[in-house]
Structure 1
Amino acid sequence: MIRNLKIWDESMIYLIIKNIKENNSIFIDIGCNYGAYSIPISKIKNKIDVYCFDPSKKSLDKLVENIKLNKIQNIKYFKIGIGEKEKYSFFDDNLKNYKNSGSYQINDDKRGTRIQINSIDNLIKKKIIYPKKKIFIKMDIEGYEFFALQGLIKTINKFNVMIFFEFSKKILENHENLETKMSKFIKDNNLIIYNSNFVEQKLEKLFSDIKKLKKDHEVLDNFILVNDNNSNY
């Protein structure tokens, strides 16, 4: 399992680890899969609480194996999809339909298994997540990222939040007028977008660039959202 494999997306994982400088932090892994991010982060930052969310039983079974294999004690995991509110949807984790298990998707057209969805704001309110001053979040949920962001408004405005997310064509497929909606969301919540070198990015350029990607390229890159009032990490 993961102990014997090269770390996936190593540069982004170590960027997250580098920014978790204090123990007054938590890490939330949205779309944790088998723990490619959570396992190395929880091992190196073993004093912080790590919360893993994935609606796939197959993925969580592999995560549990990796937790045991690596003797990790600071991960809590939940078979829940993360979105904008508490609801039910569907999740297709039939590997025959995808390139790999990291491509499993939440959908509203009743493909796959009926699953529970909830927001991070609600999970904090229900004391499933115990927040601390700094909250680091990784999102990789195959186009469902903007739904998850909409369920983070209270958290973003109350805590120091840093969100690592993948900007892909799939996010465009899930929303109409996404550029307008996302621009308003970023402005209303005082957010700044950075690339992995912490160079500020303009949302308009990201949308322009992703539309120029070749057909066989799904992902533009990984980016970081930070609330403007707390951008001095």
Structure 2
Amino acid sequence: MNRFLTRIKKHIKSMRGAMRVSGFGAVFLIYCTKIPLIKKLVKDSLVKARVLGNTMYLKVSDGGLHRRLILRGIREEEHTRQIRDNIKPEMVGIDLGANVGYFAVMESTLVGPRGKVYCIEPEPSNVRLLMKNIFANNFEDRAEVFQYLIGDHNGSEKLYLSEFGNVHSVSAARNKKGSIEVEMITLDKFLEQNELRPEDVDFLRMDIEGYEVMAFQGMQNLLNSKSPFKIFMEFHPSYYPEWGWTFEKLLNYLESYGFKIVEIVRDRETDKNGKNTRLNMKNPTIKEVMEMQKNTLADGCQALLERF
């Protein structure tokens, strides 16, 4: 009985927090979407939420990133902290896999009106919502949206779709909701098109569902630059063998270009004994990261890497 009451109290507390973020109507719709007919009826409905002091429009029917932001107003708390602590006014950055703008809007706030964020996202409906969220915060003076997949060559590639808008992937093995053909370019080509020199760019944020191993192949000019540079990224080790890579190979590859792992984080770490904790590793060696990965049930983690 006590356990039941504890769960009820926790649920009520969560509901109150969600209503502060998005209002009663949005939270009510979220719970109604558990009914299949209602979920179908509100498929494309958007709700307005306050996310870290900014405005975001989110899909009420998307049970992934959208639902978490509607209910909590924040996600990936540790990675969010990494970014907020390290991006400064007037910086220039590139956001790969910008999705609907959670990080892009945050970055635009941090760089200020004299900074710039180039937001790159391949999936059309995400691009439309990303643009809406940029305009909702009057950030069109500092953020620009581009519809591309960033990879190792210029051409086109299939993007396999997921029921959740934040996990579309180039991996055919992961997603079974169909596919679309999207334009792919290298990041070096993107820099050239936008008249950017590698030394003009201060940071790169990327979460592209494992395809980072290929994207890095197309940014040789950026990697070979000797200027200080920060990479905020999510690793997806289980994806890498599909493209002939391993987690350790990628870490060694980045180290060969002068990048050091400043911090590895994960909000929810589950060890082999089923214990849940938060992961935070400061200045780990590659050996320590690999040992961590071996002893966890989770796939990925977020990281800050830096070339000083």
Q: When the two structures are superposed, what TM-score results if normalisation uses the length of structure 2?
A: 0.63
Q: Larger deviation: 104-113 or 29-38? A: 104-113
How far off is 1:178 after superposition? 2.2
CA contact (8 A) 2:160 2:171 kept: yes
Higher relative contact order (CA 8 A, sep 6+): 1
Letter of the structure 2 residue corresponding to residue 200 of structure 1: N
RMSD: 2.7
Q: Number of aligned pairs?
A: 220
CA contact (8 A) 2:248 2:290 kept: no
**1:60 counterpart = 2:127:** yes
Alignment of 1:1-233 (within 5 A): 1-2=48-49, 3=55, 6-23=73-90, 25-46=91-112, 47-73=114-140, 74-95=142-163, 100-107=164-171, 112-127=179-194, 129=196, 133-158=200-225, 159-179=227-247, 181-196=249-264, 199-214=282-297, 217-219=298-300, 221-227=301-307, 230=308
- Gaps of at least 5 residues in structure 1 are none
Change (3 A) 1:127 1:133: closer
Compared CA separation, residues 170 and 101, structure 1 to 2 (3 A) = farther
Aligned residue identity for 1:20: I
Amino acid of the residue matched to residue 171 of structure 2? Answer: N
SS at match of 1:72: coil
* Distance in 2 of aligned mates of 1:205 and 1:198: 9
Question: Residues 14-59 of structure 1, C-alpha deviation per residue, up to 9 Å, x if partnerless?
Answer: 4323323352x21111000000001122123222111111110011
Q: What's the % identity of the aligned pairs? A: 21
CA distance in 2, matches of 1:55, 1:165: 17
- Per the TM alignment, residue 61 of structure 1 is displaced from its structure 2 partner at its CA by 1.1
Answer 1 or 2: which has greater helix percent.
2
Deviates more, 1:64-73 or 1:106-115: 106-115
Structure 1 residues 39, 187: closer, same or farther in 2, change over 3 A? closer
List per-residue Cα deviations over 1:146-179 (Å, max 9, x = no partner): 1122222211222322111112234334333525
Provide Cα deviations, 1:117-137, integer angstroms capped at 9, x if missing partner. 122112112226565545211
Asked if the contact 1:17–1:45 (Cα under 8 Å) also holds between the matched residues in 2, the reply is no
Deviation at 1:10, TM superposition (A): 4.2
- Answer whether contact 2:205 2:232 (CA < 8 A) is retained: yes
Report the 3-state secondary structure (helix = DSSP H, G, I; strand = E; otherwise coil) of the residue aligned with 1:156. Answer: helix
1:114 is displaced (CA, Å) by 1.1
Give the letter aligned to residue 212 of structure 1. Answer: N
Aligned to 2:80, the other structure's residue is in SS state helix
Cα distance in structure 2, aligned partners of 1:186 and 1:55? 24
- C-alpha distance in 2, partners of 1:63/1:129? 22
Structure possessing the higher radius of gyration over alpha carbons: 2
In structure 2, stretches of 5+ residues that fail to align are: 1-47, 50-54, 57-69, 265-279
Q: Is the 8 A contact 1:146 1:171 kept in 2?
A: no
Q: Call closer, same or farther: CA 1:135–1:198 in 2, change over 3 Å.
A: farther
